[in-house]
Amino acid sequence: ELVGADVDSVRKAIGADRRIGSSFLFPGVGYGGSCFPKDTQALLRSAADRAYDFKILRAVEEVNQRQKERLVDKMEQHFTSLSGRTIALWGLAFKPRTDDMREAPAIPIIERLLAKGATVKAYDPAAAPVARRLFDGRIALCERSYDALAGADALAIVTEWNEFREPDFAKMRALLKAPVVFDGRNIYSPERVLVTGGAGYIGSHAAKALHRAGYRVVVYDNLVAGHRGAVKYGELVVGDITDGAAVRAAIRQHAVSAVMHFAAFLDVGESVRDPAKYYRNNVVGALAVLDAMAAERVQRFVFSSTCATYGEPIETPIEETHPQNPINSYGESKLAVERALPHFERAYGIAAMAMRYFNAAGADPDGEIGEDHAPEIHVIPRAIASATGGPGLTVFGDDYPTPDGTCLRDYVHVSDLADAHVKALEAIVETGKSSAYNLGTGHPHSVREVIDTVARVTGREVPWTLGPRRPGDPAVLYAAAHKAHAELHWTPRLPALEAIVRTAWDWHRTHPHGYETR
């Protein structure tokens, strides 16, 4: 801190030694719990009994105690006096996902605040009953996080619960007397995330979600399919993912701590006609990004994968454990990258989340960004174009084994997908573990249902013609996404097809020429 070093960079460097790992190397207000503090103190007592000065362990204990005091010291430095101040605390347990307050840093922090004449309002998702017994009415325990902020002079973050990572900062500002946050867990440190393909459809929405969550965004895109106008939430670096040296330079120049990888070709039909293009870009390009990460010791990777890795489903809804047997080159290219990820984790310590999403659809509810492909390949914007006098819509096949003969797909709002990617990144930060997740609503809709919904939302007829089946199109694809719900705490906010279509219609109605609209 004295020399201006980034403590998280120090953590990553130490954690790069796999004998140590980075899972428990977090800066903040000190550790607690029943095991490590007890064992440390027991070792110190044993050393004292034998007249041995265990300096390194004594330093660990002293630093831990000092860290618990420093947050209050910083508050006192800011306010001069804490007497008469109201301090909101988020977090009481010694770590997230427990109600355990044994040796929790919150205890000495609260005691010091009370001793200095401050009033404490606290919120914890699990530990409030324990705190009620410990403090016996001396602090106010709130049922909701924002309740603790009302009328408080400042907020102190003491435990890094995930729900604290993406607050409504405007609401916080309105509730607090002054916009002051003492971030005892560094959860609001502006980490930089490289978003490859961040000028594209899903990547641009992920960039917005990252920006809203407090990250600094660096978009890396060659603009072959992306748009400069979609880059609204970070700096743009123009480059190709297959140029590993350029990717590495961007990572190094911007001190990137994580990568979200969206850059890929995604037209199923084209992938069947030109598989070389898909293997070259989607596989070789992804490996170049991973190679650059390994060289720069960046160890957090969120990968935009696809349900196409499953191929024709054996059973639905599709679980993450479903066999992966793609029936087109697009799905094969994504699966090839997924299969490489465990090897990169073992060799280089890169923790990765593979996000197997189903049919991305809709547009930013704020109307700032949306879908603009050339040519357009997705059914909702094509149906909207047909309804508004554009190219007619072709329905590829009506003889599938489905209720109306057209393909069934799981349409998931693009902003919900973006939020899931942010939650996946935070899960890597919290656990250091890799995994794969399905992202969908679990409720499939046919192409005919989409056409009817577009007609209802726009108030216009959707002209369409029947064409032959496209090579490589499964009849039914929809997700079982309970794993993402349970582990990432992700639930789609806009699951209804009509809501998805309405956001798409709002975008295309106001941007009839996409990002070129003037």
pLDDT tens per residue across span 307-333:
999 998 999 999 999 999 999 999 999
Q: Does residue 30 lie within any of the structural domains?
A: no
Can you give the pLDDT at residue 24?
A: 64
Tell me the pTM. Answer: 0.71
Burial 356-366 (b: 16+ CB within 10 A, else e): bbbbbbbbbee
Which of 478, 485, 474, 482 has the alpha carbon at shortest distance from 412? 478
Can you give the pLDDT at residue 250?
A: 95
Does position 385 have pLDDT exceeding 80, yes or no? yes
pLDDT band at 90 (very low <50, low <70, confident <90, very high): very high
Q: Does residue 223 lie within any of the structural domains?
A: yes
Q: Which of 183, 215, 240 is the last residue of a domain?
A: 183
Q: Are 70 and 77 in contact (CB under 8 A)?
A: no
pLDDT mean over 250-266: 94
- C-alpha distances in Å from residue 113, one per residue of 84, 223, 472: 10, 53, 64
Q: Does residue 58 lie within any of the structural domains?
A: no
Residues 214 and 179 grouped into a single domain: no
pLDDT mean over 75-79: 95
Can you give the pLDDT at residue 472?
A: 66
Residue with tokens 């911007």: 254
pLDDT mean over 446-463: 98
Burial of 58 (0-12, 13-18, 19+ CB in 10 A): middle
Domain membership of residue 146 as a residue range = 64-183
How many distinct structural domains can be found in the chain? 2
Averaged pLDDT score across all residues of the chain: 93
Which one is catalytic: 31, 123, 330, 357?
330
The sign one gets for the Cα dihedral 496, 498, 502, 505 is positive
The reply to whether 330 belongs to the active site is yes
Does position 214 have pLDDT exceeding 70, yes or no? yes
More confident residue, 7 or 478: 478
Q: Does residue 35 lie within any of the structural domains?
A: no
Q: Which of 183, 207, 242 is the last residue of a domain?
A: 183
Q: Does residue 59 lie within any of the structural domains?
A: no
Does position 374 have pLDDT exceeding 90, yes or no? no
Q: Does residue 114 lie within any of the structural domains?
A: yes
Residues 344 and 472 grouped into a single domain: yes
Which of 175, 439, 459 has the alpha carbon at shortest distance from 318? 439
Does position 27 have pLDDT exceeding 80, yes or no? no
Q: Does residue 41 lie within any of the structural domains?
A: no
CA–CA distance, 110 with 212 (Å, rounded to integer): 30
User: In terms of C-beta distances under 8 Å and separation of at least 24 residues, what long-range contacts does 233-241 make, across chains too?
Assistant: 233/204, 233/207, 233/208, 234/195, 234/198, 234/207, 234/210, 236/198, 236/199, 240/285, 241/196, 241/197, 241/281, 241/285, 241/286, 241/288, 241/289
Q: Does residue 407 lie within any of the structural domains?
A: yes
Residue with tokens 């991973």: 290
pLDDT digits (tens, 9 = 90+) for 153-200: 999 999 988 889 778 888 998 999 999 999 998 877 678 999 999 999
Residues 170 and 205 grouped into a single domain: no
Q: What's the CATH number where 100 sits?
A: 3.40.50.720
